[in-house]
Amino acid sequence: FHAKSIPTIDIMAYLNRILKYAPCENDCFLSVLVYFNRMATLQNKPPSFVSSCKKRRKPIIINSYNIHRLLIIGIMIAAKFYSDIFFTNSHYAKVGGLPVLELNQLEIEFLLINDFDLHISVEEIQETGDLLINH
């Protein structure tokens, strides 16, 4: 997810761009925050999706070099998972300023990091909402 350089568009402008050209429900954005929290707190847990894979996953450190890519991929994946209506990968790539091939690869990587576990419990939603309110 690490870009060669920090994108020139700031996060607010990037989120506004996504909201304008690839709108999704507020739940989608909250889901992305839950996914980010999971990714940042992996604590070297082994993946469970492939029993033969013994490699431990390392937490993702979210920073200025990867936040844009993580946002567009996370929003795209959350929209696909939670909504009946979503855009194509080529549309998200255009909105996010990425080549389609790179977006496709990042989508797979995001799913692997999250162990293909996109379901979010009510407790996780509540915890994330509480974190937002308290910060």
Tokens 């509540």, located at residue: 126
3-state helix, strand, coil in the chain (%, to 5): 55, 0, 45
Q: Please tell me the CATH superfamily of domain 11-134, with its number.
A: Cyclin-like (1.10.472.10)
pTM for this prediction: 0.84
**How confident is the model over 90-108, as pLDDT tens digits?**
999 999 999 999 999 999 9
- CA–CA separation, 17 vs 14, rounded Å? 5
Give the DSSP H or E segment for 75: helix 67-82
- CA–CA separation, 17 vs 36, rounded Å? 20
Tokens 């979503």, located at residue: 86
Report domain extents, the chain: 11-134
**How confident is the model over 9-51, as pLDDT tens digits?**
999 999 999 999 999 988 888 999 999 988 888 754 555 555 4
